[in-house]
Amino acid sequence: MKPHTSSSPAAEEQARRACRQLDQQPLPAHIRSGLEAARRQALAQTGTPDATRPGHVLVQQWHEHPWRWAAALALLAALIGNWQWQQQRNRIEQNIEIELLTSEAGPDLLLSDALEQRLRKTR
């Protein structure tokens, strides 16, 4: 149903003036509750979801754009995996350095090429 449009500028100005006056005055509580009940009833009849429910927009976007969400989740998983991998490499390097410093190996062993090659193989 299309809204009624008036072609008369005087009628439009009168409607604007009436709207301004109504906007300035608070509505009585029984009218507000009646309007809220009518709104809920209209939403229930049309099957339109209530946009005030928490997470409604997120759920709606999830159903409307599943491939975009899947791509975003895959990217997030890749970033978290990369971060975990780098953290593990740092821990391994720190453990090797601690083992070398706490071991009873002499300076000749620590400076030898054989030890360097062995350490590269373990990484």
Give the model confidence (pLDDT) of 38-56 as tens digits.
Answer: 888 887 777 655 556 667 7
Residues 46, 37 contacting (CB under 8 angstroms): no
The mean pLDDT of the chain is: 79
pTM over 0.75: no
